[in-house]
Structure 1
Amino acid sequence: MQDYRPENIDCFYFQYTHCAKVQCNFQHRQSCKDSSEICLNWFRHRKCRNRVCPRKHLNHEVMVAYFLCPVEKNTNHCLQLTCPMYHEKARQFIEHGIIPPNPVPTLSQVRRKKMVHFVYLENPQVQNMVKSANQLLNKVRSFIANSVREGKLTQDKGRSYYKEILHAILFYGNISDPVIEPNSFFEKEEFELLSNKYPDVFRNYNTHLPRRPPFTVLLDAVIEILGTRNQNEVFKCLLHLTEEMVLELSDARSNKCGNIFVSTVISCCYFVNHHITNEKTDNYYGASVSCRGRQQKEIMIDILCCETWHQVVSLAVCIGNWYKNQCLLFPETMYSIAYNVTFNEESPPETGTTSNNQHGHTGVGSGDVQNTDALENNSILKRHAHLKLRAPCERCLKMFPNIVYHPRPEYHKHPYWEYGNCAECESLSQLLYANPQIVMRLGYFVQRTILYSPVEQVHLPNDLIFRKHRRLVENLRSLGFDVGEHLPFYDPSGTDSTALEVFQS
């Protein structure tokens, strides 16, 4: 299982029943047998050096991965009364009644310590997040205000986009370590202005969850403002926006943006119905999950799985995450193309553009830099942002194996990121929401150890997404986010904030 090693995990059998193995790969620690709490250090860093730690090195995630009863997993019900394995569902017996699920250790409510003010201000992570937020918010504010003024976006929709991005950034600051308070992102006058204009954002950033990362919201706003899903137009606008969000990096050779809220990968997917109408769907876009920190990224991916993405995409992410297995089989004429957004001091080389007439997507010529007709005028590239074709990673090939990717990978580099981090998940989810007829044509490729019978197809997505929900709650509580079992999500369409007119010059 990703990041967790058996030698850092408590043996479930030793902790709750009896371990019969002579040489067990898991830890046998007497010191935590009576504990019902998870070791916070182990939960955050995947290991704990204290061999007599009084708290358990177990949580729901590892108990499912290493100790879940295979009979329960396959048939949904274990009939062995003395089964020593982990059961997350209640078992009912005629003579013995109902045996409840095995207990799962929980995280104690621990808040992160706030740093001394002068140390806090000098912290590089704090500085990077504050600068990143300022650049993104300033550019988004100007972009949306101009669009509203030009009649390309309604004032209500523009306000909603800005509020959603602002809320997501304040939420990231709240789950950051150290905590970054809202007033740290702004000068005093701007903070007072925004908090008065958007009181619901500043009231709900630490009680309600965002549904999308900030850059995904911006991508959605770009498409609505442009009124087209044409690749050239969408990418031209995105490049223009991201050029003004580049942070100055200590490494002058870096070709990355440096802004932690700007996605590094953009993907585009579409479907061609060769068998019936020979028509191509619109292009649908997605961005990689843009946030910093392992727990913070897990939180955002779990939010997307539980709340935002199409259920079949969430299912593919869950199957990949929990079982490292394939899941979905799309129709054979589903296409996906992805790009890295890179930044150079020199203009991108002049390269030809080839067009695939059969499938209607744009390819690249002799170089590896995207150069479409709409991007040929390099005068708009103030900081020389350009797109570099990116092959799908091992995670995407595992989750969506039969999509026609461009380019196809020449080798499989093992990714360090989690299932669900890739831009392809968002773009495919958008496509499936807009084209429900494609969902009816999906195939499922799930091993019998995961899916025992066709009846289980109805229940399996909910069961796995529930595990994501539990991990989300655990992560939020470990970072001091005040949350119950019911997760509230922020709605930017609230009416208690005023118009976007304040941002118009």
Structure 2
Amino acid sequence: MKTSKKAEIDAKIKENLVTSGTIFIDKFADILKANNGSPEVNSHYMQRVLHSIFFIGYVSKPRVYPEDFIPESVRESFKKKFPGPFRDYKSHVPHQTPYSILLEFMSENKNFNGPNILMQELWEINKSLWKTDTNIGYQPVANDFTATVIAYSCYSDIKDNNNVKSAYGSSISCRGKVPRMIMIHISVLQVWDLAISYAVCQEGNSPALVFPNKVCCHAFSFNCNRNCFLEVPPCAKCNKSFRDVKFNPSCENPDDDPTWPYGNCAENESLNKLLKGCQDLRSRILTEKNTEGNQMDITEIETMFKKEKEEKLKKTLKNLLGSQNIPLRETNGKLQSFQPM
């Protein structure tokens, strides 16, 4: 009886993951087509989305293979057009989750006058990504690859006539503890600025990163009951990890806020992109003062991360990937990651 129940649950999980991935691929293809971009750009993004979905499916439990996500009627044409994702899904790691790639495409290929307009577009996209569950009165059910939270960060660059730099990020959007932890470790080791990686690894403990003035971060979370994105304050760990950031909305008592698994929050990706896009800001990052009144600058933070955190994280990632029969391969000290053809 127990075995039969487990098999039933596994079958439902697999069905949801397959449906989620198929819907996501179909919708992303529509987004690329509507954008009228170059074939090279569209292929670049589609390959990344396919590889990320195939990789996450492979490391999920129960396992899902690339062929499961692609309808049989178009499977061979997909393999011929995008051979890389079908070849590399169990040997190369992705840099981002599918939704993070979608958000990157939206923010880099369209002009948005502030985050509210983007939130409206993402809301329309999310409606297309959701499934409908007839068992609960035709209510939408969240897609396994849809991000719950989107964060918008900005900074007035004093070396560029106070030109406002901005960046968007999403929460880690994949179902299951192991896939999520794999994606977080990949982000910390290979994707995020090492200052963000260091702060995330501190898990809200000292020393936190201290940002200069004029850095803001605005987060939005989808509310199922009200059927819209609502502004949300950062979790307790983000509040403690990123000091002097003007979070909107702010927290009256950060200790009362929820605490998510480290690295899962949209604020991490958003602030990371802001640092990578603004060297003036990055050069001014410090840590909190220790008991002796000393602070680390950006170079010392990088050195400390590599000395104290990097090898432990690689070992954990190796174990996580190994549990899913994926070897941890490195080239010149970097993880072997997927590159679109």
* Pairwise TM-score range, normalised by the shorter structure: 0.7 to 0.9
RMSD between aligned residues: 2.9
Query: 1:309 maps to what in 2?
Result: 192
Is 1:141 the counterpart of 2:29? The answer is: yes
Query: 1:480 maps to what in 2?
Result: 325
1:179 corresponds to which of 63, 67, 82: 63
1:327 offset after TM fit, Å?
2.1
| Pair 290,453 (structure 1): closer, same or farther in 2 beyond 3 Å | closer
Q: Which string of whole-angstrom CA distances, capped at 9 and with x for unpartnered residues, describes residues 420-458 of structure 1?
A: 110011111111111111111111126479x99889645
Q: Following the alignment from structure 2 to structure 1, what is the Cα–Cα distance between the partners of residues 138 and 248?
A: 25
Larger Rg: 1 or 2? 1
Residue 129 of structure 2 aligns to a residue whose secondary structure is coil
Alignment of 1:58-207 (within 5 A): 123-148=11-36, 153-207=37-91
1:466 offset after TM fit, Å?
2.8
| Pair 179,448 (structure 1): closer, same or farther in 2 beyond 3 Å | farther
Q: Following the alignment from structure 1 to structure 2, what is the Cα–Cα distance between the partners of residues 277 and 211?
A: 30
Is 1:332 the counterpart of 2:222? The answer is: no
| Pair 144,209 (structure 1): closer, same or farther in 2 beyond 3 Å | same
Query: 2:123 maps to what in 1?
Result: 239
Q: Following the alignment from structure 1 to structure 2, what is the Cα–Cα distance between the partners of residues 276 and 227?
A: 23
Q: Which string of whole-angstrom CA distances, capped at 9 and with x for unpartnered residues, describes residues 444-497 of structure 1?
A: 126479x998896452121213322221111100122133455310012x1xxx
Residue 162 of structure 1 aligns to a residue whose secondary structure is helix
> Unpaired runs of 5+ in structure 2?
none
Point out the more displaced range, 387-396 or 278-287.
278-287
Query: 1:64 maps to what in 2?
Result: none
Alignment length (residue pairs): 330
- Give the TM-score normalised by the residue count of structure 1: 0.60
| Pair 328,257 (structure 1): closer, same or farther in 2 beyond 3 Å | farther
Query: 2:312 maps to what in 1?
Result: 467
Alignment of 1:342-491 (within 5 A): 342-343=223-224, 385-411=227-253, 412-413=255-256, 415=258, 417-445=260-288, 447=290, 457=301, 459-463=303-307, 464-484=309-329, 487-491=335-339
Query: 1:20 maps to what in 2?
Result: none
1:326 offset after TM fit, Å?
3.5
* Larger strand share, 1 or 2: 2
| Pair 276,303 (structure 1): closer, same or farther in 2 beyond 3 Å | closer
Q: Which string of whole-angstrom CA distances, capped at 9 and with x for unpartnered residues, describes residues 383-413 of structure 1?
A: xx52101011001012102211111123434
Q: Following the alignment from structure 1 to structure 2, what is the Cα–Cα distance between the partners of residues 143 and 442?
A: 37
Q: Following the alignment from structure 2 to structure 1, what is the Cα–Cα distance between the partners of residues 162 and 135?
A: 47
> Unpaired runs of 5+ in structure 1?
1-114, 349-384, 495-505
Residue 63 of structure 2 aligns to a residue whose secondary structure is coil
